Structure 1
Amino acid sequence: MSATDTVKVLQDALEVFRPHTKGPVRRGFDKPRWEMSNLHTIILTGLKSVYEKALTVPEEKHRAFVGYCLQWVGYIINHHWIEENLYFTHFPESFTQTQTIFSEHQTFHAKIEEMKTYLTNCLPIGTKWGLRDTVEESASRTQKEPVAFDGARLKAIIDTFIVPLTTHLQAEITYLDPENIKASGMTEKQLEEMDKAVMAHIRSLGPHPLLMYTVYHLPKDVEFPPAPKFVKRILVPWIFHWKGSQWWQFCPKRFE
């Protein structure tokens, strides 16, 4: 796939999510599609930013850029871990799309692991990356010193999984149509219990860097995440920003 095609695939998918991200915070059966559309917007906006910058980052900033790329890797790995362990496990068996979703994850997870391996090989052993991870010696790392970052190689890896990834992310919001959820017999109480489990996990991770990445990869006009404006408009850009600021310099300009 050419670079032009990959960017178009990303942009087309983002346009699919856009109508579902607007408006006030959703509640009840309307919430899952709303929050998932916003989360998928974050994932694809972040990946588009990585892809478009990969060939233009000056060499002296390669290490910081690799760290930024690994924030994306950490974000999507955590996102799918939540889905498979805390989110869709709360849905009743009559919600038949759960196993379909898990199967779709497998169509691109190996390639994301390849991306992770390549990027961590570009960093010294012991470097912190993602949400709580550290670059470690492993069987896949044949050298102790980091390899030179190659933006073309990174883009080539992304090209291999962009179609199954975007296909899955677009399909998932159709599965979460409020009428589908109601038809499965899921109750609002079950949705609340699911939310509590997910939020407990997110709080355990702290605001750095999960909240930062979330806010910096969404349009300004959405209400996600449902946090006070003081947090998103003051704490994030003026206080929390400085921890990991070497990564956030590569974030896209927030769009209206």
Structure 2
Amino acid sequence: MGYSNVDFASRCDKSRPKFAKYCVGPAPTDLFEMQRWSMAGAHLMILEVLANIYSQLDTIPPEEEQNFALFCLFGMQVIEHHHHMEETVIFPMMQPEFTTNVLEEHAAFSNAMHELDAYLKAVLAVKQGAKNGQVIPIAGQAKVPFSVPKIKQILDTMIDPLLTHLEHELEWLAPENIRASGLPRERLEEIDAKVEGHIKNEMDPSILVFGVGHTRPGSHFPPLPWVLLKILVPWVFWWKDRKLWKFLPKSFVPIEL
């Protein structure tokens, strides 16, 4: 699947191998190494979501605009939820031993991220449901037109500060940095358990299908049980929003690490 904008594609190409090299292979058993592995896997998924959406914008026929808007909204909800967990769970729980400037870096792209989320909901005339991946139609609200130039403009605004930040996080979370901070292993266990709980409680199963569909070969992120990955995702969870999965990547070009 080709990209429709050289600058956007080039920016993604710059970060892609940086993310991929840390999440190729199974999840590490060492919790200090696991932090960067899981973050790199999430970052690679986010990158592929944005690259996939951008590459298709000029090809969506009018009759598919509503479906594609919902597909794009799923992508924004994945990104927003990821950064919400960082701000409320992951990095706060690593303090005071391990500190970052995560809030400052998030501020560089959060306005664009929230703007696109709000715009897509206006296109669909929906409000947020109880979980990401669930939306509620707003009775009587007119839908705003689906505008490819508007979506591109927002994505172009956010892509560089977003990917720059995602690169920085992998530098912060180098295992040697976490160990040197004195952060105890028990705290990492608490963080991982809390993150897992947030994902289970705040994500509709369709978001899981969406995420797995943007996972590159060679990446074992997210580390899901076999029955979930091989049975529930493709044969059970797939059905509810099956009209959207035509927009998932058809194939991935190999990454040169």
Please report the TM-score for the alignment, with normalisation by the length of structure 2: 0.89
Structure 1 residues 175-184 or 197-206, which shifts more? 197-206
Larger CA deviation: 146-155 vs 69-78 = 146-155
| Pairs within 5 Å for 1:136-215 | 144-205=141-202, 208-215=205-212
Q: Give the match's secondary structure for 1:96.
A: coil
Question: 1:205 and 1:95 mapped to 2: Cα distance?
Answer: 26
SS in 1 for 2:205: coil
Are residues 1:68 and 2:71 paired? yes
Q: Counterpart of 1:194 in structure 2: which amino acid? A: I
Q: Please say if residues 92 and 185 of structure 1, whose CA atoms lie closer than 8 Å, have aligned partners that are also in contact.
A: no
Change in CA separation of 1:223 and 1:49 when aligned onto 2, cut-off 3 Å: same
- C-alpha separation between the residues in 2 aligned to 1:132 and 1:102? 27
Q: Is the 8 A contact 2:128 2:134 kept in 1?
A: no
**Does residue 229 of structure 1 match 2:236?**
no
Deviation at 1:145?
1.2
Q: Structure 1: which 5+ residue stretches go unaligned?
A: 138-142
Contact conserved, 1:127 with 1:135, CA < 8 A, in 2?
no
- 1:5, distance to aligned residue in structure 2 (A): 0.6
Paired AA for residue 198 in structure 1: V
Alpha-carbon offset, residue 136 of structure 1: 5.2
The answer on whether the counterparts of 1:21 and 1:38 sit within 8 Å (CA) in structure 2 is yes
Query: Is residue 92 of structure 1 aligned with residue 92 of structure 2?
Result: no
> What residue number does 1:251 align with?
248
User: Alignment length, in residue pairs?
Assistant: 248
* Residue matched to 1:79: 82
Aligned to 1:44: 47
Give the percent of matched residue pairs that are identical in Structure 1 and Structure 2.
33
Contact 2:53 2:72 in 1 (8 A): yes
1:54 matched to which residue of 2?
Answer: 57
SS of equivalent to 1:121: helix
Residue 6 in 1 paired to residue 3 in 2?
A: no
User: What is the RMSD computed on CA atoms of the aligned residues?
Assistant: 2.1
Aligned counterpart, 1:119: 120
Q: CA deviation at 1:126?
A: 5.7
